[in-house]
Structure 1
Amino acid sequence: MERTAEFYIVKRGDTLSKIAVMHHVTLDRILEWNPQITNPDIIHPGQRIRVAAPETQGEYEPFPGADFFQSSVTSPVIEAMGYRLIEEGCSAYADGPDSQWSEADRKSYSNWQHKLGFSGQDADGTPGRTSWERLHVPAVYQ
């Protein structure tokens, strides 16, 4: 079976129902994976939406190293991490994650570290290998 991309970029004329059919999932599942979508009738070209669960992918992003997590870094890996943090109930996002590392990412990740039982410097919001591997950030295909 061909692997489905974890995220889909909305194109002109797309609807959530059409996207769900293309990726062999239900509209309800798309809405579950995309809590930032408050009205299923309103999506925009260029918008990135999640179209597959981590279990569907079978692969996770390898730990990119602590130096990766800087405000100058923009990567779909950061957005995928943010959605996993939301799924784990660790969100500190006002509007949902995006691809640029931010203070909301750091706070959300710190919440994840605390959930795992880390404290002090080990829960400062900078991902480390152990907590990253336990988060199971789905592989991002670009």
Structure 2
Amino acid sequence: MGNAAEFYVVKHGDNLNKIASRHGVTLGQILDWNPQIENPDIIHPGQRIRVRAPHAHGEFEPFPGADFFQSSVTSPVIEAMGFRLIEEECSAYAAGPDSQWSEADRKSYAMWQRKLGFTGRDADGTPGRKSWERLHVPAVFE
């Protein structure tokens, strides 16, 4: 598990007590780490919930390599990247990110690359190590 901030994607039938117990934390900790949850009795399938606090190091996803970013790849890392791009106001998403690499991910990432000052092939929307490390994608836990 390491020192990473970890996230869990809510599944049908989950509740915060079950999620807390499954991850060895308290309901209070879950609520502290997820200020967006206004009512602990209301969570929805697909919602991302932080289940481990971030620490000073190891809290970000390492660069997975350029070959990772293809439409055949489905990973929660891609969804976490998408949420970070939205936070950085680099979004070409119609309905928000999901776990499959898509043209919307590529376009959003290209916006991020241009925001960092990259041009030409360095801003083609395929993540590279330098831009990825500056995006600070939170470590993902399934």
Q: Under TM normalisation by the shorter chain, which class is it?
A: 0.7 to 0.9
Given the alignment, which residue of 21, 26, 30 partners 1:23? 30
Give the aligned length. 130
Aligned to 1:36: none
Aligned to 2:79: 79
Structure 1 unaligned regions, length at least 5: 32-39
8 Å CA contact 1:4–1:23 kept in 2: the answer is no
Tell me, yes or no, if structure 1 residue 49 matches structure 2 residue 56. no
Measured against aligned partners, the alpha-carbon deviations of 1:58-105 in whole angstroms (never above 9, x if no partner) come to 421111111110000001110111111111111111111111000110
CA distance in 1, matches of 2:110, 2:33: 32
Aligned to 1:34: none
User: What root-mean-square deviation, in Å, do the aligned CA atoms of Structure 1 and Structure 2 show?
Assistant: 3.1
Aligned to 2:94: 94
CA distance in 1, matches of 2:125, 2:51: 26
TM-score (normalizing by structure 2) = 0.74
8 Å CA contact 1:30–1:51 kept in 2: the answer is no
Residue identity (%) = 65
TM-score (normalizing by structure 1) = 0.74
3-state secondary structure, aligned to 1:126: coil
Superposed structure 1 runs of 4+ greater than 6 Å apart: none
3-state secondary structure, aligned to 1:51: strand
Relative to structure 1, the CA distance from residue 111 to residue 25 in structure 2 (aligned partners, 3 Å threshold; closer, same or farther) is same
